[in-house]
């Protein structure tokens, strides 16, 4: 047999082995745990672990305290953000206006399809309009807010883009205050997650977006119901926003907090926003443990989750989410920098040694580090 044929057969054999071994997140085999220094509870957790599967075109799971991305799917893909745009509308409105400000609707409020029913000449406070904006997602409320606070929609949208730049949303650009599809109006799952976090950090907007029903006695009478399918049905959910357009599909940004640990889940272009949102929140609270890292005399802590580098000031001990069950979620170690002297941290990693056998190895230990 010629050397060329032998080389070809060798390539085919390797290809067959790789295809037979399969791809995807590492899965544990029965004989993978014999030589690993793991507690029985850790072994059971590894055996039960499943990587989250969502139908959404793009998705992100964000830890609020550290800013770390815990899960990402097409996180930087620019897509239509639909009515998730209204979170920026609300954020700019409370920064530039006053909740008691009275706003008179103009003829421009006739913006279909979703409206709260404003008529030109009708007067409503900014606070009431914000409920109509964030709960039922009224497009007419968005226009009234933009014109009432900014004078013109164009000026207000300019403020929205300025705020996006200030928040570091590098892949976001707005052309209107409501989110209806328009060429050049776009964002990403990661940017939307950080926008959601900014909105939830404003106590006024956190209160409004976390309200299930709101009644304005009028006249005229308005009753707004929150469209967030997880609010009131999933433990810890405290706010967020839904969205839908033909181009964007169904979208959800949701905030949840348990035991003081807040996470933001975003799904864009989803077949089922409630199921996808719950899948990501289950993944956060079922897979991660928030570990306190006490650090002395160190102005800065760097740590890595996947390819993301996170910096946090250390005026006090910091809590970071660590997952021991999948390699891409946490690799590396606590790194001290910029004048650091002494620290005690945690090191965690998952090493997949062979894609054919899918052999995993895990170690989590306390270490001391000196600069």
Active site positions, annotated: 83, 86, 137
H helices then E strands: how many in the chain?
Answer: 9, 17
The partner residues of 67 in beta bridges, in order of sequence, read: none
Q: Per the omega criterion (within 30 degrees of 0), is the bond before 113 cis?
A: yes
**How many Cα atoms sit within 13 Å of 371 on the Cβ side?**
16
CA–CA separation, 91 vs 165, rounded Å? 13
Phi–psi pair at 323, nearest 5 degrees:
-115, 120
Q: Which two tokens stand for residue 56?
A: 């959404």
| Closest listed residue to residue 125, CA positions, set 89, 142, 159, 101 | 101
R_g of the chain, CA atoms, integer Å? 24
Could you tell me if 243 and 179 are in contact, meaning their C-beta atoms sit under 8 angstroms apart? Answer: yes
| Closest listed residue to residue 142, CA positions, set 223, 221, 227, 82 | 82
Could you tell me if 220 and 88 are in contact, meaning their C-beta atoms sit under 8 angstroms apart? Answer: no
| Closest listed residue to residue 86, CA positions, set 133, 153, 127, 124 | 133
**DSSP helix/strand/coil, 134:** helix
CA triplet 338, 340, 343: central angle to 5 degrees?
A: 145
Alpha carbon 174 to its chain's center: 19
Start-end of H helices in the chain:
3-21, 40-48, 86-96, 126-134, 139-150, 153-166, 189-200, 203-209, 273-287
């Amino acid at each position: 047999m010629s050397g060329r044929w032998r080389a070809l057969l060798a390539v085919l054999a390797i290809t067959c082995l790789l295809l037979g071994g399969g791809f995807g997140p590492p899965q544990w085999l029965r004989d993978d745990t014999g030589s690993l220094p793991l507690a029985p509870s850790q072994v059971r957790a590894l055996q039960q672990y499943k990587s989250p599967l969502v139908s959404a075109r793009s998705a992100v799971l964000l830890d609020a305290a550290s800013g770390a991305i815990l899960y990402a799917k097409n996180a930087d893909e620019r897509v239509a953000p639909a009515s998730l745009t209204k979170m920026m509308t609300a954020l700019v409105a409370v920064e530039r206006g006053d909740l008691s400000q009275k706003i008179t609707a103009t003829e421009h409020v006739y913006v279909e399809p979703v409206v709260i029913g404003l008529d030109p000449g009708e007067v409503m406070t900014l606070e009431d309009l914000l409920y109509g904006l964030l709960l039922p997602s009224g497009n007419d409320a968005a226009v009234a807010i933009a014109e009432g606070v900014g004078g013109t929609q164009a000026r207000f949208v300019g403020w929205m883009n300025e705020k996006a730049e200030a928040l570091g949303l590098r892949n976001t650009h707005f052309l209107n205050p409501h989110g209806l599809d328009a060429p050049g109006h776009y964002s990403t799952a990661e940017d939307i997650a950080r926008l959601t976090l900014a909105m939830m950090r404003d106590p006024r907007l956190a209160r409004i977006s976390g309200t299930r029903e709101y009644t304005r006695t009028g006249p005229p009478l308005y009753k707004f119901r929150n469209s967030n399918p997880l609010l009131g049905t999933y433990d810890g959910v405290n706010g967020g926003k839904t969205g839908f357009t033909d181009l964007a599909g169904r979208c959800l940004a949701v905030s949840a907090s348990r035991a003081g640990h807040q996470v933001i889940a975003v799904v864009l272009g989803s077949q089922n926003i409630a199921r996808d949102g719950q899948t990501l929140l289950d993944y956060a609270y079922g897979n991660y443990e928030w570990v306190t890292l006490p650090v002395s005399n160190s102005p800065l802590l760097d740590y890595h989750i996947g390819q993301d580098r996170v910096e946090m000031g250390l005026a006090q001990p910091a809590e970071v989410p660590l997952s021991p069950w999948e390699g891409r979620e946490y690799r590396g170690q606590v790194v001290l920098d910029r004048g650091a002297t002494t620290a005690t941290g945690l090191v965690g990693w998952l090493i997949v040694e062979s894609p054919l056998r899918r052999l995993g190895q895990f170690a989590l230990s306390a270490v001391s580090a000196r600069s």
